């Protein structure tokens, strides 16, 4: 029997984010790398998404290491950058959107009581409400091809007890991810950094 592509139990994920805490930059970047690695297991066609996310994580990491003390928290790193050269406002925005798509996709899978094997609709819906508004026609077309090849539920998460375990850990993984995305959205809103520019 094939092992599922994902074992959520082994994913460290995002740390808890209490309401008044700031986002720890390095924990955020490490957890985001894990998400990309999970996405990479979906298959070769997902390479463009993986490449894009990794590129944005790299830009953020490069910026972080220039002043590890000052950039210990993503909140400060973003706000300082927004006031100065705006080197990471956009990479973080695109990374946030990609993470929002993955969060929506995983949430759709989790909330699907019929446990549908075919996940194409779930990923399509997730894409529509997160990344699609910021993609031009050509990129949208490319994405519609990619998503036809998304693995099935069993391929990703296994069956029976393995599937149940994966769903349990997936739920625990999503809670702090949502908190991080919510915080980032609040920051982008508070400092008027959202953008409607299309790729």
Q: CB–CB of 14/177 below 8 Å?
A: yes
Instruction: Give the pLDDT score at 75.
Output: 97
Instruction: Give the pLDDT score at 147.
Output: 86
Q: For residue 159, which phi and psi values (nearest 5 degrees)?
A: -130, 170
Spatial distance between the Cα atoms of 90 and 175, rounded to a whole number of angstroms: 25
Instruction: Give the pLDDT score at 196.
Output: 79
Q: For residue 73, which phi and psi values (nearest 5 degrees)?
A: -115, 135
Residue 47's CB is within 10 A of a number of other CB atoms, namely: 13
Q: From first to last of the 199 residues of the chain, give the pLDDT tens digit.
A: 689 999 999 999 999 998 889 999 999 999 999 999 998 999 888 888 899 999 999 999 999 999 999 999 999 999 999 999 899 999 999 999 999 999 999 999 999 999 999 999 999 999 999 988 888 888 888 888 888 899 999 999 999 999 999 999 999 999 999 999 999 999 999 999 888 788 7
In the chain, where the domains are located: 20-187
Residue ranges in the chain assigned as alpha helix (H): 25-40, 47-66, 74-83, 89-111, 120-130, 137-146, 153-157, 160-190
Query: Which residues neighbour 85 within 8 Å (Cβ) at sequence distance 6 or greater?
Result: none
Spatial distance between the Cα atoms of 85 and 90, rounded to a whole number of angstroms: 11
User: Which homologous superfamily is 20-187 in?
Assistant: Glycolipid transfer protein (1.10.3520.10)
Query: Which residues neighbour 59 within 8 Å (Cβ) at sequence distance 6 or greater?
Result: 87, 88, 91
DSSP 3-state of 129 = helix
Give Cα 49 to chain centroid, integer Å.
Answer: 10
Instruction: Give the pLDDT score at 1.
Output: 65
Spatial distance between the Cα atoms of 37 and 32, rounded to a whole number of angstroms: 9
What secondary structure does DSSP assign to 132-167, as a single string?
GGGS-HHHHHHHHHHGGGPPPHHHHH-SHHHHHHHH
Instruction: Give the pLDDT score at 13.
Output: 97
Spatial distance between the Cα atoms of 121 and 118, rounded to a whole number of angstroms: 7
Instruction: Give the pLDDT score at 139.
Output: 85
């Amino acid at each position: 029997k094939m092992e599922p592509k994902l074992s959520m139990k082994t994913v460290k994920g995002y740390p808890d984010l209490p309401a008044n805490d700031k986002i720890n930059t390095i924990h955020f970047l490490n957890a985001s790398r894990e998400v990309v690695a999970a996405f990479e297991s979906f298959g070769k066609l997902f390479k463009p998404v993986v490449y894009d996310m990794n590129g944005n994580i790299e830009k953020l990491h490069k910026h972080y290491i220039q002043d590890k003390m000052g950039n210990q928290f993503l909140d400060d790193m973003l706000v300082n950058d927004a006031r100065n050269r705006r080197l990471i406002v956009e990479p973080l925005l695109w990374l946030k959107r990609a993470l929002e798509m993955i969060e929506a996709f995983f949430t759709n899978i989790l909330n699907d009581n019929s446990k549908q094997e075919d996940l194409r609709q779930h990923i399509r819906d997730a894409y529509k409400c997160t990344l699609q508004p910021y993609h031009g026609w050509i990129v949208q077309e490319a994405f519609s091809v990619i998503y036809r090849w998304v693995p099935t539920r069993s391929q990703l998460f296994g069956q029976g007890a393995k599937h149940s375990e994966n769903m349990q850990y997936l739920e625990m993984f999503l809670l702090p991810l949502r908190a991080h995305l919510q915080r980032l959205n609040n920051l982008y809103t508070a400092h008027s950094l959202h953008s409607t520019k299309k790729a």
